[in-house]
């Protein structure tokens, strides 16, 4: 059975689709003739241009949801749509908090499986095969999706490139959001946006990350300074997040963010597999570590065996002198 139609959950943030939604649209249009994006939170007409450019022909708009938590309402609306006969072959969902919530609820409502932690997708004889990173990203398991359609795939950020197809705006179709009773009683009261200067960690072209080798929380300022001078973002290993030196939003790795910058600089990071899985897709990797046997050197294009407290100030000084 061929794959004709794919829906992509195009979650939005600050009035634009999240980057993963554009990555999923790019992949969906390579696999299916019909691609539809699903949006909620209002402003669908404004999003239709970008979503169309990346491959959506139609945008299903669920409206602003009245400030309610999206999970129950989006899942109910999509389940109703599928039951009415408008059935996609697959639904691609970004790995975000709301994406995971919707995927689980939709899976239960439609009684179809949900495949999570997907890092790759392949079509073979009309079947979708999904790739999953396991054991800290050291092994890839391929799952063959043969069950009832639609297959729900929750896909990790940066699994595919986001490439514009140059298409015109998608047409917007409003979907009815059904009453779901007490399930949707919770509403969002407040959103907290963490302050930051410079690019977002998972979108930055240059990422400078620090680990336990920095020795103390105050030395993280060196990492931030280098990142700022390179117009990049500052990341971290889990060791220093757990130690409370930096917030969780900085964490790179299996249980943090996946980054694929042009340049990743690891400072005082050993290179545990759980860290590598989040950054080994970077185009160029530079590692600074005083231990020549540190595993991070196995993925580095350039290794500097040295003390971060000496190397980082030198690098910062050289950049400032340019």
- Residues making contact with ligand FAD (CB under 6 A): 211-213, 237-240, 251-256, 268-270, 272, 274-275, 278, 288-291, 294, 307-309
Which CB, 58 or 279, lies closer to ligand FAD? 279
Shortest separation between residue 279's beta carbon and ligand FAD, angstroms: 9
Shortest separation between residue 242's beta carbon and ligand FAD, angstroms: 8
Shortest separation between residue 322's beta carbon and ligand FAD, angstroms: 24
Shortest separation between residue 254's beta carbon and ligand FAD, angstroms: 4
Which CB, 53 or 224, lies closer to ligand FAD? 224
Which CB, 71 or 235, lies closer to ligand FAD? 235
Which CB, 28 or 267, lies closer to ligand FAD? 267
Give which of 92, 71, 89 is closest to 24, Cα–Cα.
92
Shortest separation between residue 245's beta carbon and ligand FAD, angstroms: 10
- 93-96, long-range: CB within 8 Å, 24+ apart, which pairs? 93/9, 93/24, 93/152, 93/153, 93/154, 93/155, 94/9, 94/11, 94/18, 94/20, 94/21, 94/24, 94/154, 94/155, 94/157, 95/20, 95/154, 95/155, 95/156, 95/157, 96/11, 96/18, 96/20
Q: Which tokens sit at 78? A: 């999509």
CA gap 54, 28 in Å, rounded: 10
Shortest separation between residue 281's beta carbon and ligand FAD, angstroms: 14
Instruction: Give the containing element (helix H, strand E) for 307.
Output: none
Which CB, 20 or 258, lies closer to ligand FAD? 258
DSSP secondary structure letters along 221-265: HHHHHHHHHTT-EEEE-HHHHHTTSS-GGGBBSTTSB----SEEE
CA gap 12, 63 in Å, rounded: 12
Which CB, 99 or 137, lies closer to ligand FAD? 137
Task: Write b or e for each residue in 122-158: b if 16 or more Cβ atoms lie within 10 A of its Cβ, otherwise e.
Answer: eeeeeebebbbbeebbeeeeeeebeeebbbbbbbbbb
Which CB, 45 or 291, lies closer to ligand FAD? 291
Which CB, 41 or 278, lies closer to ligand FAD? 278
Shortest separation between residue 306's beta carbon and ligand FAD, angstroms: 7
Which CB, 232 or 256, lies closer to ligand FAD? 256
Q: Are 39 and 10 in contact (CB under 8 A)?
A: yes
Which residue's beta carbon is nearest to the bound ligand FAD?
253
Shortest separation between residue 133's beta carbon and ligand FAD, angstroms: 12
Shortest separation between residue 210's beta carbon and ligand FAD, angstroms: 8
CA gap 305, 290 in Å, rounded: 5
Q: Are 151 and 113 in contact (CB under 8 A)?
A: yes
Q: What are phi and psi of 7, to 5 degrees?
A: -100, 145
Q: Which tokens sit at 176? A: 């009815």
């Amino acid at each position: 059975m061929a794959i004709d139609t794919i829906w992509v959950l195009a979650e939005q943030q600050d009035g634009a689709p999240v980057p993963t939604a554009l990555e999923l649209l790019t992949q969906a249009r390579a696999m299916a003739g019909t691609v539809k994006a699903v949006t909620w939170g209002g402003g669908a007409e404004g999003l239709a241009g970008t979503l169309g450019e990346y491959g959506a022909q139609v945008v299903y708009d669920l409206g602003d949801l009245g400030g309610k938590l999206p999970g129950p309402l989006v899942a109910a609306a999509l389940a109703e749509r599928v039951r009415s006969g408008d059935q996609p072959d697959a639904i691609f969902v970004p790995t975000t908090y709301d994406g995971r919530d919707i995927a689980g609820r939709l899976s239960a409502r439609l009684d179809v499986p949900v495949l999570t932690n997907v890092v790759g997708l392949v079509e073979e004889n009309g079947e979708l095969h999904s790739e999953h990173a396991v054991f800290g990203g050291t092994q890839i398991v391929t799952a063959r999706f043969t069950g009832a359609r639609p297959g729900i795939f929750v896909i990790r950020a940066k699994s595919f490139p986001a490439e514009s197809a140059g298409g015109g705006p998608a047409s917007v179709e409003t979907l009815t959001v059904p009453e779901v009773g007490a399930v949707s009683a919770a509403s969002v009261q407040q959103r907290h946006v963490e302050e930051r200067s410079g690019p977002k960690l998972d979108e930055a072209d240059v990422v400078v990350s620090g680990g336990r080798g920095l020795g103390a929380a105050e030395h993280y300022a060196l990492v931030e300074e280098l990142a700022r001078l390179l117009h990049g973002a500052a990341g971290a290993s889990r060791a220093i997040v757990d130690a409370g030196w930096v917030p969780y939003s900085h964490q790179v790795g299996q249980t943090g963010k996946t980054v694929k910058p042009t340049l990743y600089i690891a400072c005082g990071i050993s290179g545990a597999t759980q860290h590598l899985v989040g950054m080994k897709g970077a185009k160029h990797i530079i590692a600074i570590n005083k231990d020549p046997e540190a595993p991070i050197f196995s993925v580095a294009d350039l290794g500097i065996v040295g003390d971060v407290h000496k190397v980082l100030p030198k690098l910062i000084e050289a950049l400032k002198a340019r």
